[in-house]
Amino acid sequence: MPLALFALTAGAFGIGVTEFVIMGLLLEVGTDLGVSISTAGLLISGYALGVVAGAPVLTVLTGRWSRKHVLLGLMVIFTLGNIGCALAPTYGTLMAARVLTARSHGTFFGVGSVVATGLVPVDKRASAIAIMFTGLTVANILGVPLGTWLGQSLGWRSTFWAVALIGLLAVAVIALFVPRDEASQEANDWRADLRALGRRPVLLGLLTTVLGFAGVFTVFTFIAPILTRLSGFSPTAVSPILLVFGGGLVVGNLVGGKLADRRLVPSILGSLAVLALVLFGMTFVLHDRVLTVIAIGLFGAAAFATVPPLQMWVLEKAEGAGQSLASSLNIGAFNLGNALGAWFGGVIIDRGPGLGAVTWVSALVPVSAIFIVLLALRLESRERRLGAPNERMLQGGVS
């Protein structure tokens, strides 16, 4: 794998820290700013919605830029946004800074996925995407636990200052190692991109991504309260347990990429099914500390095993035209799932059966994603059956 992939991984690491570290600091942020845990959890939803809104806009606006310049510009936005988070005096300004930071997220991973797949042979494309997304998983192993510890020790603002420094380092690494490319001299035909996105297979792929990751974040948003209030861990134990979760992310991400290179559709269905089973099974072990830690590791592996196949599926369905936009929108779909999951988890806690039911209710969400995949496959099969007689008729007419 070329060094440029690992430069993309460095940028993904910085973005991963700022996205996920807030989950380990919900209690501290809520206490400092005078808001409830569920309200503090909306900082995750706000970030995710910022990704959803920023991905298509920035991808279209930067369509004629060289991809290297796009990636560098996005990391500058990321760095400034984290400085704004560190300086935010109120909950509202913190939310605004999080949304600004999120603007860089979708386009970075969308453009980065296209760059990554162009650097390797066809049979290694999903693995290349997995390597870039390893930045997110390593962020959970190293960045999030350290950021959580730093925020608990020196105040949550210190974490965002540290993340801003990571952003500056990522800018330098990308500038050094990502190869230069020429800016597009052609007019950016965003209408053609939208037509490609409007195809039913692409839309169903995006919906599958939303539902798949909504189940993940219904639980992960409230992982700290689950561990402290249900499993009986102390707040200081959250960071080490997140290391286990991060280890699961790394394993699941790389395994998901390998499986997707071999058989894409079975890897999608299998990873979603495993995710649903793990979420449901967590319900029965949360009062045993040892089993809880094991379940957290399995949860991480199941969560990120879905990422490379889902990203690769949308890229394939876009079929050339609009791939950058489709890729960026699929990152937005992941984050729309994050936002819906954070909201759904809050509803379960505040208006539903409570914190103890979050895991088993969340298992229903990836199950719904499986039904969407099966629907997409059935529709594709029917279109092929209908197209085959028409093709034979045309061939018969020509002969």
300-349: pLDDT as tens digits: 999 989 888 888 888 777 765 566 677 778 877 887 887 788 888 888 88
State the pLDDT at residue 399: 42
pLDDT of residue 28: 87
pLDDT tens digits for range 340-374: 888 888 888 888 788 888 999 899 999 999 999 99
Crossing angle of helices 238-262 and 264-282, in 10° steps, is 150
Is the distance from CB of 112 to CB of 225 less than 8 angstroms?
Answer: no
Cβ atoms of 325 and 59 within 8 Å: the answer is yes
Residue 196 pLDDT > 70: no
- List of residues 6+ apart from 113 with CB closer than 8 A: 129, 132, 311, 315, 327, 331
pTM: 0.72
What pLDDT is recorded for position 281?
Answer: 94
The sign of the torsion formed by the CA atoms of 288, 292, 293, 294 equals: positive
Question: What DSSP assignment string belongs to 176-238?
Answer: HHSPP-PPP-S---HHHHHHHHTSHHHHHHHHHHHHHHHHHHHHHTTHHHIIIIIS---GGGH
Q: What is the pLDDT of residue 389?
A: 53
> Can you tell me which residue has the tokens 């105040």?
155
What is the rounded CA–CA span in Å between residue 17 and residue 381?
41
Query: Which sequence spans correspond to the domains of the chain?
Result: 3-178+189-384
> What is the secondary structure of 13-74 as a DSSP string?
HHHHHHHHGGGGGHHHHHHHHT--HHHHHHHHHHHHHHHHHHHHHHHHHTTTS-HHHHHHHH
CATH class of 3-178+189-384: mainly alpha
Own/partner long-range contacts of 85-89 (Cβ < 8 Å, ≥24 apart): 85/18, 85/157, 85/160, 85/163, 86/157, 86/158, 86/160, 86/161, 86/164, 87/157
pLDDT(77) > 80: yes
Residue 229: both structure tokens together: 């209030």
pLDDT in the model for residue 355: 87
Highest mean pLDDT among 35-49, 90-104, 269-283: 269-283
Handedness of CA 151, 155, 156, 161 (dihedral sign): negative
28 touches 151 (CB < 8 A): yes
pLDDT of residue 133 exceeding 90, the answer is no
